[in-house]
Structure 1
Amino acid sequence: MKIKAALAKEKNYPLVIEEIEIEEPKEDEVLIKIVASGICHTDAESIKGNGTPFPAVLGHEGSGIIERVGSNVTHLKVGDHIVLSYSYCNSCSQCLTGHHNLCIRTVELNFGGKLQDQTYRLHKDGQNYSTFFGQSSFATYAVANINNIVKVDHDVDLRLLGPLGCGIQTGSGTVMNSLKPEPGSSIAIYGAGAVGLSAVMAANLLGLKNIIVIDIHENRLELAKELGATHALNSQSLNVVEEVKKITDGGVHYAIETTGVPVVIKNGIDSLRVAGKISIVGMGGDVTLNFTNDILMEGKTIVGTIQGDSTPQVHIPKIIEYYKEGKFPFDKLVKFYNFNDINQAFEDSKTGITIKPVVIIGS
C-alpha cells in the first residue's frame, strides 16, 4: 500500500515528504489512518542521530482511526478512534508487573527500527525504513502492534490527542504515578515545555500547596500560572535554589527536571528539602555531585522516570476524562501545523515559540 511519509534520510537533514510503501498488518497488528501527530523532543533528538537508525519515518505521538485489523485482534475494530503510544512486549518481568514503561525490550522495540516480530513494514525503492516507537506517525498511515494502541472516545477532537501518547503522559504520569505527592506538599518543576506544563496540571489536580515552575521563557511562565502554578521563576534573573527554599521554608518535597541541562539538574537536587525526591525526566549528560553532602546526609532520592511510569491504556483515558471535566486543559499547549510545514513546526518548538506542535495529516 502506498502512503505519504516525512522521511528522515540522514543525520541533521530536514524531513522530506515522499511516497513509500507500507505492508499490511499482521495477526496482532492494526492499520491506522493517521489524523495528526505531535512533535516531541525525542523526535528532534532522533533527527540529530540520537534515535533509530536512518533512513527512518519518525513520529511517536500519533492519533488516528483504525482501517484494518489483524486476525488475532478482538478488542479493537475498524472505525475506532485511537492514540498511539510507546511499544512494549507485554511478556517480560517488567511488563507482567505493570511497569510497561520499563519493558526489558524498550530500546529494541522503540529505537531499533523494527516491529515486534523483528521485520520492517516500511519500504522505498527496495530499501527498508526504520519504524519509530513501533508506529512512525509522521505518515498518512501506520501499522502498529496492539500494545501501542489506546482506544479513545469519539467525542473529543482526535487532532488534540496524539501528544497524550508521550509528552503529556510523561509529565502528568511522573506526578501522578511516580512521585505521588501528598495534598498540601510542594513541588518544583524545571522546564515549562509540554512535559513540565503537564506536570503543573497534574500537581494542581492533586491539590499541592506550592507548585513552583522554573523556565527562561516569560510566555511559558505566564501559561504555567494560568494552568495552576503558584510561583513562576525566570532562572535568568534570580538564584533559583535560594528562591525555592525561601518560598517553601527550606526546600520542596518533590521536584521534576525536564530539561536535561546539567546545571538545572543540580539546581533541582539542591532545592529539595531533607528527604526530598526528584524525578529526572529530561535527556541529559554528566552531572557532578558530592554524594555525601548532596544526597546521603540529607536522605534525598533521585529517580529516573520514563513515560511517567504509565501504562498508556490506563493513564491516557484517565487524562481524557479530566480534560472533558475541565480539570486538565492540555489543549492550551497545542498549536496546529499543516503536514507540509513539519520542519517549521520543529523549528518553532526548538526556539520556544510553540510548546506542543501538532501536525495535521489526515481527516
Structure 2
Amino acid sequence: MTRSPTVARAAVLGEVGAAPALRDVQIREPIGDEILVKIHAAGICHTDISLAARWPERRMPMVFGHEGAGVVEAVGPAGSMRVGTRVALTFNSCGRCDGCEGGEPAYCRHSTALNMRGDRGVESGSIVDRQGAVNGDFFGQSSFSTHALTHERNTVPIGDSIDFALAAPLGCSVQTGVGAVLNALRPVPGQSMVVFGAGAVGLSAVMGARIAGCRTIVAVDPVAERRSIAVALGATHTVDPLATDVLPMLAEYTKGGADHGVDTTAIPAVLADAITALRPRGQLGIVGLGAPTAALPVGLIMGKGLRIRGVVEGDSVPMTFIPDLIDFHLRGDLPLEKLITRYDFNEFDKAWAAAQSGSAVKPVLTF
C-alpha cells in the first residue's frame, strides 16, 4: 500500500550566507531500508554551522541536522525496525566496504558521499516544497525537520529510559568526545588527560576521561563558563589560554607532561601546544575540523616517541556505543543535562544564533 507524502516543517537553507529558515515541506514515503522518523529533538552541531556557511549553491535548498532523536513512524519494504521504536540518529555508513566490515563504520569508504553531500543519487526527490526539490539525507537524516528519512544503519534504538533531548547529542558530539577517550586513546586509571576546547565535544571528552579513571583531567578554554562546566563534569584543573602561559601550567598540573590529549579546536597554534604538552610516549587524538594543515614539530614527535592520530565520530560503532552512553547516563556518569540548552523548534533562529556565537554549549531543538 502506497503511503501519502508526509507534511512536515523543516529548517531549509535557501541561499548562500543566510541562516536556515522554517518552511512547510513534504517528505515522500520510505523506500528500501529507509525509515520515517518523527523527530522529537535535534541537536545543533558545529558541523551544521560550518558546512551551512560554505554549502555550494548548486546543492541548495538544503536541510541540515545530524543529531536527531524520535519515534519510528513508517518503515520501507526492506526495513526491519518496528513502528513505534524510540531511536537516536547518527552518521551513515554503507555496511559493505572494508571499514564497515571490519567494525569501523566511522571510516566507511563512502562516508563523504553518505554524510557530507546530502544527496541521494538515484533516490532523489525525498523532500519537496512549493518551489520544488529540497536536498535531504544530510548524515543520512536531515533532522532539522519534524520528520526525517533515515536508514537502518544510522537509526539506533534507545529504549524508554532517556529523554529525547538528552539522547539527540549522542549521535555525534557526545559519542565523538567520549569515544575519542574510551575507544581511541584508551587511558588506564590514574593517567592524565588534557582537553583543548571545552565545547560539546571537549566536555564530552572530559566526561570520558573521568569514566576512564584519569586522575588528572585538565580543560583548556578561554570561556570562564565553559571551564566551570568542565569542573562540574570532572575536570581537576582548568587553564585560561588568554590569561596565562598554557604550557607551564599544563606541565605543573600533569607533573611533567600529559599521558593523553584531545584537541577539538583544529587551530594550528593550539595543536602545537597539545603536542608539546605530552610526556614521552604520550598520544594526542585530533577530533576538530578547522585548519586543513598545521606545522608539526617532527623532532619533538620523534624524540619523545609521540603518537598522533585523527579520530572520527569517536571510533564509534553506534549500534553498541550509543546504548553504552545511555547506560553511563542512567548511572550518573554522563550528566548530559549539564551540556544542553533547549529551544522550541519554532525558535530555530534563536537556537542557530546561539550555536553560531557559542553562547550555548549544545543547543537542542525540541518538537
Give TM-score scaled by structure 1 length: 0.96
- Aligned to 1:254, the other structure's residue is in SS state strand
Q: Kindly indicate whether residue 363 of structure 2 is the aligned counterpart of residue 357 of structure 1.
A: yes
Specify every segment of 5 or more residues in structure 1 that has no aligned partner in the other structure, as ranges.
none
The separation in 2 between residues aligned to 1:126 and 1:120, in whole angstroms, is 9
Cα shift at 1:22: 1.0
State the 1:343 CA deviation: 2.2
- Is 1:328 the equivalent of 2:334? yes
Query: What are the residue-to-residue correspondences of 1:1-363 with 2, within 5 Å?
Result: 1=5, 2-49=7-54, 53-74=59-80, 76-115=81-120, 118-124=123-129, 125-285=131-291, 286-291=293-298, 293-361=299-367
Q: Alignment partner of 1:133: what SS?
A: helix
- The answer for unaligned runs of 5 or more in structure 2 is none
Tell me the matched-pair count: 359
Distance 2:226 2:154 in 1: 31
The secondary structure found in structure 2 opposite 1:98 is coil
Using the alignment, how far apart are the partners of 1:114 and 1:352 within structure 2? 29
Q: Report deviation, 1:299.
A: 0.9
Distance in 2 between residues matched to 1:241 and 1:185, nearest whole Å: 18
- Residue type at the aligned position of 1:290: P
Q: CA deviation at 1:27?
A: 2.4
Q: Deviations over 1:119-147 (max 9, x none)?
A: 34112233342431110000010111111
Distance change (3 Å), C-alpha of 1:205 and 1:290: closer
Gap change, CA 1:203 and 1:290, over 3 Å in 2: closer
3-state secondary structure, aligned to 1:17: strand
Say if 2:16 and 2:55, in contact at 8 Å, map to a contact too. Answer: no
Secondary structure of 2:135's match? strand
Q: Which is worse superposed, 146-155 or 50-59?
A: 50-59
CA contact (8 A) 2:12 2:23 kept: yes
Task: Write out per-residue CA displacement over residues 320-347 of structure 1, whole angstroms, 9 at most, x where no aligned residue.
Answer: 0111111111111011001122222122
Between 152-161 and 183-192, the greater mean CA deviation after superposition: 152-161
Amino acid aligned to 1:72: A
1:291-349 Cα distance to aligned partner (Å, 9 max, x none): 1x231111111101010000111111001011111111111101100112222212222
Structure 1 residue 190: Cα displacement: 0.4
My pick for the range that moved more, 256-265 or 127-136, is 127-136
Distance in 1 separating the partners of 2:103 and 2:254: 34
- C-alpha displacement at 1:51, in angstroms? 7.9
- Over the aligned positions, Cα root-mean-square deviation in angstroms equals 1.5
- TM superposition shift of 1:202: 1.0
In 2, distance between residues paired with 1:290 and 1:336?
A: 42
Aligned amino acid, residue 57 of structure 1: V
- SS of structure 1 residue aligned to 2:31: coil
1:38 aligned partner, one-letter code: G
Q: Secondary structure at the match of 1:11?
A: coil
SS at match of 1:154: coil
Deviations 1:58-111 (A, max 9, x none): 00000000011122222x211110000001001100000011000000000001
Q: Distance in 1 between matches of 2:45 and 2:192?
A: 28
Cα offset for 1:29? 1.1
Mapped to 2, the partners of 1:92 and 1:36 lie a distance apart of 31
User: Residues 221 and 191 (structure 1 numbering): CA distance in 2 closer, same or farther, change over 3 Å?
Assistant: same
Separation (CA, whole Å) in 2 of partners of 1:235 and 1:202: 22
Q: In the alignment, is the contact (CA less than 8 A) between 2:341 and 2:363 conserved in 1?
A: yes
SS at match of 1:224: helix
Could you list the structure 1 runs, at least 4 aligned residues long, displaced by more than 6 angstroms after superposition.
none
